[in-house]
Structure 1
Amino acid sequence: MLTHLQIRNLAVVRNLDTDFSAGMTAITGETGAGKSIALDALGLCLGDRADADLVRAGQSKAEVIAEFELTPTSPALQWLEQQELSDENHPHTCIIRRTITQEGRSRAWINGAVATVTQLRELAPFLVNIHGQHEHQLLNRAEYQQRILDAYAGHSQLLQQVTEHYQHWRKLHQQQKQWQQQQEEFAARRELLEYQVQELDEFGLSEGEFEQLDHEFKRAANTAGLKEDAEFALNVLFEVEHNSAHGLVQAALSRLENQLDNDPQLADTVKLLSDAKVQIDEACRDLRHYYDNLDVDPATLAQIEQRVSQAVKLAKKHQVEAAMLPQKHQQLSEELAQLSATESDLSALEQSIQQANQAYRQAAAELSKSRQQAAAKLAKAITASMQQLSMPHGQFAIEVEHHAQQPATAMGTDTIQFLVSANPGQPLQALAKTASGGELSRISLAIQVITANQLTTPTLMFDEVDVGVSGATAATVGKLLRQLGQQAQVICVTHLPQVAACAHQQLQVAKVTDGRSTETSMIALTEAERVLEIARLLGGDKVTESAKANAAELLAHSD
């Protein structure tokens, strides 16, 4: 709720500091004293247009500061946290400051951080609802009318279902749209993949095959050198008649064996030479076998050479190492399978979209039915309240039109419109076209009282709510405002004593002039001062004892 308002050099106000309390506050004063200055100043904090003419004459700038106290569950607090504008030291406080210079420049701050006018306007509905002839009235807006009806109906679960079905349908629709946009690209990619996979299928290189082919090719290509070196090794190891490795080891072994009886320490050496002789024998047998089988069929060599060359060519085409072709083959095959699956899933996606749309339309129809039922009850209650508020022939209706085939939205497919007829014989017409400022304020008052338990705006300000009202109707207005003050903070500008007497707190606005300048002030009244002010409202400038007695009686009956 609004706890403090500070105004500096705004219009006829030089310096004004006012505290506000919970419940109902009445602002009274003589005609032309500037009773609406608080509402105008607060409007600036809520994003109203800043005009250089608002700066007090002779001053360089005007300043307005509004301080609000927020509850832990306040939507305003959630908005501040989302915008990173909350005050860590005072998390349940929101301070809005706005300045206007003589040149018409305007600046704004929220909790000390620079803010835009757009942000002020976004935050405004969570803090204050000003009812009067102001450009930011909510009641004429279709979305606010829908909000009122939905809050009164209390069908949050139906709203949530519609929103969830809408989000699901929209997600599927976006998937379909994305696929359709990529269809040509997918087709070209699929054609390329089919060619590449077929080519690799026909080549059929298996895992590890290239390494084996490469080995066989190198062996076959170097057969002559391999045979020459194998033959040389056989000769030096065994074949030559003298001085072969085998002969020399055998000679050394024989001589040392003959000396074992003379020195047994030679036994280890003899064993090593004996093992070496065996190793040379085995190496020679292997070399003879290797040499005898070393010849390669030229046709086989040509086949190997061709396959290796083709593997290298394909690897270059796919920009991988030849040994990685099998993995590349598998990767391309999997991508082709995925594209094929995407195509086959398109029909399934279209079917899912149809099912999601059907579920959404059904949920939207159920929501519309609930709205229509609530609209009849709410319209009846508002009509009755209007007739109590000096609109004896007033009629109120809420039109809910369901458009089953209209484009889907998260809030359903209904068109909701508030209709009113203020006079006999006048047809029901849109609220914005028919109701005057005073009528709109009283209709809004009726709506606020009826829906007070559902709506969450913490502060309600009424201007001209009692225009054209007097007598018993004025008392009704006062009682309704006081009743509303039990649910929310109510600030009301009034000239009716019956309304002012119902307030929990009363502020008096006065205008003082010295002939050269004019200044407006606003002070909180004591109980004694309230009697005098209400007596003035009852009897005019001359306050009689009778008027004071009547004022005291009004105050006594307000509790």
Structure 2
Amino acid sequence: MLESLYVKDFAIVGEAEIAFGPGMTVVTGETGAGKSLLVDALLLLSGGRAEATMVRHGCERAELAAAFDLAAHPDLRDWLIAEDLDEDGACQLRRVIRSEGSSRAWINGRPVTLTQLKTLAGGLIEIHGQHEHQALLDRTQQLALLDAFGEHGTEVAEVTRIAKAWRETTARITELSRGTDHAERIEWLNHQVDELDRHALAPDDLLALEEQHRRLANSGQLLQGGAVLAERLDGDSEFALLRLVARAQSEIAHLAVLDERLEPIGELVDAAQIQLAEASDALARYQSALDLDPERLAETESQLGKLHELARKHRVRMPELKAHADSLREELESLRGAGASIATLREEQQRLASTYAAASKKLGKKRGTTAQTLGAAVSALMAELGMHGGRFEVQLEAQSGDEPDPQGTERCEFLVSANPGQPPRALRKVASGGELSRISLAIEVAALGSDTIGTMVFDEVDSGIGGAVAEVVGQKLRALGERCQVLCVTHLPQVAAQGHRHLRVSKSSDGASTETRIESLDGTTRREEVARMLGGIEITRETLAHAKQMLGSAMRSGEE
């Protein structure tokens, strides 16, 4: 529900803040006073197109803001949370239009795009006027309205779910098929996996092979170097290390007799002698195990050469060949099972198609019944609203297609005949502005409670009518106001008298500038405004009495 509207430097409005309440609020004023400026402001706050001419002359920018109560709209609160625009349950729309024509928008103080603004406002407010009926003329919206009127939500959701599942299944089939020859790919993968399984090594095994190759490739140098080292450790030369250490041991033992402090040094030399002896033994064992093996060297070189070849072929490093083989094996298994998977998916596709046919048939049957009910209800209300002999019909057209449609198997077209004897034609082609306003009102009244819009705005829906019909329009708007918030701009006293609240728009000028004033009326001021609408410039006792009677009658009818 709209709680308040603030406008500043907008058109001929200097600054105004208007509070709104539940029920039906009427907006009246003399012609040219700017009654429709409130509607224009709400249109802009709903994401409408902004123009530089909307800024008050001599000002840099126009500012508009509206606050809404979301107590009855948990879905919109969830949307604000999802968009990171929530603010402790508040909902404030704000828009600034600059004199050069640019504009910016905010929701709860955070900058947003016009698309976000339109999305939120679309769930908050619905505007009906002689030039604001695009939603009513759009066939998609007509179908949505029919489903809302008939409370087809469960059936529509089921049809949409099945259609989505069918499309996902079809996409999976296409993905598995890919338009390629699986047999050829499977044969290629088989060959690659077999080859890699024969030759590829795990990283640790590859390191061992490279170490072995390095040893075999240098075995001659290792044998020669080992012999030289053995001679230096324990050879026949007087400079062999073990011989030199033995002499050192003898000399230290002789000197230690003279000075026992040399005994620890002797022990260290003894330990060195032991280490050198162990090293000489280990070297001897190494030499006996080491042997020239040209055939084994050739084998390791061939194996490494094959690994290098595979690495280049598959464009991976040698240590990654084993993992690459596993990856190709997974693809191979997937393709081997693709045929079975596709068959299973095709069965699921057929099952979903059959389920969709049943669900869409059920929805179509309900839509047919609802179309007749809505057509009859709107036709009856059209007669009450001064379109005697007019007829409203909802035409359902079957849709053909190979794929399940999320909207069902039919499309909707609103047809209308405004005059007796004329065949009904598409609403978007034949209705005038005034007729469209009244038809819109008839649809809204017929569909009371079938949508979740909290605020409905009617701009000059009473254009071209008067007398008893005008009173009926007012009564219908008041009845609508019992279910949701209604804001109605009117020039008819019969409609104005039916409002729960009354705003008057007036214009004043000091010769240099013009300004619009918006004030709330009650009691005497409201009676005087209705009298002005009844009698023109001169207000007599009779017109005041008539105005009082109209207001009293509206209040009594509202209490019944």
Give, as a single letter, the amino acid of the residue that structure 1 aligns with 2:373.
Answer: K
The counterpart of 2:406, out of the listed 390, 405, 410, is: 410
Aligned equivalent of 1:431, options 427, 430, 434: 427
Report if aligned partners of 2:457, 2:487 keep a CA contact under 8 Å in 1: yes
Q: Amino acid of the residue matched to residue 338 of structure 2?
A: D
Offset at residue 534 of structure 1 (A):
1.9
CA distance in 2 between partners of 1:489 and 1:210 (Å): 79
Tell me, in whole angstroms, the C-alpha distance in 2 between the residues paired with 1:234 and 1:33: 118
Q: Which residue of 2 aligns with 1:556?
A: 552
1:544 is the counterpart of 2:540 = yes
- Does the 8 Å contact 1:406/1:413 carry over to 2? no
Structure 1 Cα separation of the partners of residues 543 and 186 of structure 2: 94
Aligned length: 548
Matches within 5 A, 1:409-558: 409-513=405-509, 518-558=514-554
Mean Cα deviation higher: 136-145 or 345-354: 345-354
Letter in 2 for 1:523: E
Q: What's the offset of the Cα at 1:18?
A: 4.6
Further displaced range: 437-446 or 111-120: 111-120
Does the 8 Å contact 2:385/2:473 carry over to 1? yes
Partners of 1:506 and 1:231 lie apart in 2 by 117
**TM-score, length basis structure 1:** 0.77
Would the alpha carbon gap of residues 515 and 307 (structure 1) be closer, same or farther in structure 2, given more than 3 Å must change?
A: closer
Structure 1: gaps of 5 or more residues: 246-281
- Assess, with a 3 A threshold, how the Cα gap between structure 1 residues 78 and 228 changes in structure 2: closer, same or farther: closer
Are residues 79 and 217 of structure 1, via their aligned partners in 2, closer, same or farther at CA, if it must alter by over 3 Å? closer
1:328 and 2:321 correspond: yes
2:406 alignment partner, SS class: coil
Q: Relative to structure 1, is the Cα distance of residues 294 and 384 closer, same or farther in structure 2, using a 3 angstrom cutoff?
A: same
Q: Secondary structure at the match of 1:30?
A: coil
**Contact kept in structure 1, 2:155 and 2:362, CA below 8 Å:** yes
Equivalent residues in 2 for 1:13-412, closer than 5 Å: 13-22=12-21, 23-56=23-56, 58-61=57-60, 63-72=62-71, 74=73, 75-86=75-86, 88=87, 91-101=90-100, 105-111=101-107, 112-135=109-132, 137-178=134-175, 183=180, 193-201=189-197, 203=199, 306-307=302-303, 310-311=306-307, 314=310, 324=319, 328-329=321-322, 331-339=324-332, 341-342=334-335, 344-345=337-338, 348-349=341-342, 351=346, 352-405=348-401, 407-412=403-408
Q: For 2:128, give the aligned amino acid.
A: H
SS of corresponding position for 1:139: helix
Q: Residues of 1 paired with 2:44 and 2:308: CA distance?
A: 77
**Contact conserved, 1:16 with 1:522, CA < 8 A, in 2?**
no
How far apart, CA to CA, are the structure 2 residues paired with 1:286 and 1:106? 90
Change (3 A) 1:423 1:301: closer
Q: TM-score, normalised by structure 2?
A: 0.77
In 2, Cα distance between equivalents of 1:411 and 1:512: 53
Give distance in 2, aligned partners of 1:379 and 1:314: 75
**Partner SS for 1:25:** strand
Partners of 2:516 and 2:152 in 1: CA distance: 47
| SS of aligned partner of 2:366 | helix
User: Displacement of 1:481 after TM fit?
Assistant: 1.0
Deviation sequence 1:327-375 (CA, Å, 0-9, x none): 7346425524424523642563351444444444443333333222222
Q: 1:136 to 1:84 in 2, by over 3 A?
A: farther
What corresponds to 1:6 in structure 2? 7
**Distance in 2 separating the partners of 1:218 and 1:95:** 78
Alignment RMSD, CA only? 4.9
Q: CA deviation at 1:8?
A: 2.4
Q: Is the 8 A contact 2:7 2:13 kept in 1?
A: no
Take 1:301 and 1:18, find their aligned partners in 2: how far apart are those partners?
96
Q: Is the 8 A contact 2:160 2:406 kept in 1?
A: yes
Between the aligned residues of both structures, percent identity stands at 36
1:256 aligned partner: none
Give the Cα separation in 1 of the matches to 2:220 and 2:67: 99
The whole-number CA distance in structure 1 between the counterparts of 2:233 and 2:509 is: 132
CA distance in 2, matches of 1:483, 1:442: 15
The answer to whether the 8 A contact 2:44-2:95 is kept is no
Q: 1:525 to 1:345 in 2, by over 3 A?
A: same
Contact 2:456 2:486 in 1 (8 A): yes
Q: Distance in 1 between matches of 2:285 and 2:509?
A: 129
Q: Distance in 2 between matches of 1:374 and 1:470?
A: 32
In 2: Cα distance, 1:380 partner to 1:100 partner? 49
Compared with structure 1, are the counterparts of its residues 336 and 224 closer, same or farther at alpha carbon in structure 2 (3 Å cutoff)?
closer
